[in-house]
Amino acid sequence: MLPLILSFLACLSPDVCPANGQSRTRPAPEFDRIASSALKAGGPGGVVLVARKGRVVYQKAFGMANMELGVPMREEMVFNIGSMTKQFTAVAVLQLVERGKLSLQDEVTKYLPDYTAGGQKITVEQLLTHTAGIPASAPEAMTRLQGEKRLVTLQEIIATFKGRPLDFTPGTKWSYSNNGYMLLGAIIEKVSGIPYPEYLEKNLFEPAGMTATHFGDDYKVVRNRAASYIYSRAESQFLNAANDKVETAYSAGAIQSTAEDLFRWNQALLSNKLVTKESLAKARAEYKLPDGQGTHYGYGWFVGNIQGSPMVEHGGNMGGFMSHAIYLPREDVFVVVLYNFRAPDRLPEFLAGDLAALAIGRPYDIREISLDESALRPYAGVYEEGGVERLLTVEGGRLYYQRAGANRLLMKPYAKDKFFFDNTAVVAEFKRDAGGKIVALSLTSKRGISSSTLRRTDKPLPARP
C-alpha cells in the first residue's frame, strides 16, 4: 500500500472525497475536523476509528454505504481490507512456527515441492519480507481467472505465476509481492491441514473476538457489507466498482472486516492471545537485507515513524475499497480508516497519518506561506525520474506539478525550497548545488518511509496550447 503514497503523484487531482457523518460516539472536535475535511457529504465515504491506550476515543461513519439505495454509512459496515490481510497471514505463519510445525528458514520447496523457482532457494522468511523475488502473475492468466463465474482456488492463482522466472536472486532485494503471500497461504494450508479461510476463523478471528470478519466471498450475502465505487475523472463522477473477485487476492488480500474488529485484532495481538510478545516484536521490526540495507518492512507490516514516534502500518486496495491502519507502540495509539471508494488522490493513509499525529499530540503543522511569482519562477522546469517527465509551471502566481496526461497539482510553499500538496502525506523539497542552482526535486513521505528524487533537466517547458 505505501508505494501509493508517492505513485499518487503520477495522476492525482486535488479533489475532495464526498461523505457525511454519522456516529454513535461523541466526536472529539479535532479528530472530527480532520476527518470531516477529508470526507464530505454527497457520495461514498467510510469509517474512521481512533483508539488510545486500549480505548476508542473517536469513531465515526461518513457518507453513503450504498449510493443507489440511499443507505447511509454506519460504523458497523463491512469493507474489503485488501493487503491488510498480509498481517493476518504473517501472524498465522508465526503461530505455526511457535507450535514447532515450521521454521522461518525452511525452504519453500519443503512444503510446496512443485514451486521450484528455477532451482533457487527461497525461505519462508523471504516470502514474509518481500525479499524472495516472486514474480507477478501473467496478466492474461489472472484476467481469465477474474472472469470465472465461480470461486477460484489458490492452486489456480499460483499457477498464474509458478512457471515465471524470479525477479531477482532471493534475499538480495526488496520488492512488494502479493504472490509471495499467496505461497504463504499455501504453506499454511499444507502445514495445518485445513483451508486458509478455516485456519483464520479458528486461530485468529475467533480468539480475537472478530465476529464481523471473514474471508471474502463475492457470492455470499454478507450482513452490513458496503457497496463500493471508483471515481472516474473522465466522467467526473463515481461509478460502481467492477467485481474484482475478492477470493483471487486470497492470503494476500481477501479479508473483509470492520473498523471495530480491526481494533479488536490489534488488542488481541498486544495481549499475546495470538502470538508471543517476542514473535510480534519480530514481525513489527524492520527486516534488513544481508548488506545491512533497511527495507521499511517486517512480517506483514511497514515500519516507519510519525513525527519521530515509531509506528507500524499497512493499507489495502481491493475493488472499490481502500483501507489503512497505523499503530504507534510508544503512545499505544491505533488508527484505522476504511473507505468504500477508490480514487488515486484520496488515499486513506493520508487521513490515517494526520489522525495518528494528532492522537500523539504532535499534529502536522505545515502552513502555507506567501511567495510572489518572481520567487516561484526559479522552480519551474522539466523534471525527470526513470524516463518519466514532470512539468512544473507557474501560472497566476502559483506553482503547479503535472505529469503528462494527468491533472495538475498545486504546490503550496511552507518554507524556503519546501512545498506541500493538499490532502496528501507527501512533502516536496528542491535541492540546490554548491552554486545555489536548483538541480532536483525530492518527494518524501511525512512518515519517513518512501522517497523519490526527480532530476531537473535542461529541457524547455512546452508551450501551452
Q: pLDDT tens digits for 299-324? A: 999 999 999 999 999 999 998 999 99
Per the CB < 8 A criterion, the answer to whether 84 and 325 are in contact is: yes
What pLDDT score was predicted for residue 5? 45
Range of the domain at 427: 373-456
- Tell me whether residue 234 is in a domain: no
Residue with cell 439505495: 69
- Tell me whether residue 200 is in a domain: no
416 contact partners, CB below 8 Å, separation of at least 6:
none
Residue 421 identity (one-letter amino acid): F
- Tell me whether residue 434 is in a domain: yes
- Tell me whether residue 333 is in a domain: no
Residue 447 pLDDT > 70:
no
Residue 10 pLDDT > 90:
no
- Say how many domains are in the chain: 1
Apex 304 CA angle, 385 and 452, nearest 5: 5
Structure confidence at residue 1 as a pLDDT band (50, 70, 90)? very low
- Tell me whether residue 417 is in a domain: yes
400 contact partners, CB below 8 Å, separation of at least 6:
392, 393, 394, 408, 409, 410, 411
Least confident residue range of 97-101, 233-237, 265-269, 339-343: 233-237
Strand partners, 419: 413, 428
What pLDDT score was predicted for residue 343? 82
What pLDDT score was predicted for residue 40? 75
The C-alpha atoms of residue 165 and residue 183 are separated, in whole angstroms, by 15
Residue 243 pLDDT > 80:
no
- Tell me whether residue 431 is in a domain: yes
What pLDDT score was predicted for residue 8? 44
Apex 360 CA angle, 358 and 364, nearest 5: 40
- Tell me whether residue 82 is in a domain: no
Q: Count Cβ atoms below 10 Å from residue 22 Cβ, excluding itself.
A: 16
What pLDDT score was predicted for residue 332? 98
CATH number (domain holding residue 427): 2.40.128.50
Residue with cell 457489507: 225
What pLDDT score was predicted for residue 465? 59
451 contact partners, CB below 8 Å, separation of at least 6:
6, 442, 443, 444, 445
Structure confidence at residue 14 as a pLDDT band (50, 70, 90)? very low
Instruction: Determine whether 348 is exposed, middle or buried from the number of CB atoms within 10 Å of its CB (0-12, 13-18, 19+).
Output: buried
Structure confidence at residue 83 as a pLDDT band (50, 70, 90)? very high
- Tell me whether residue 400 is in a domain: yes
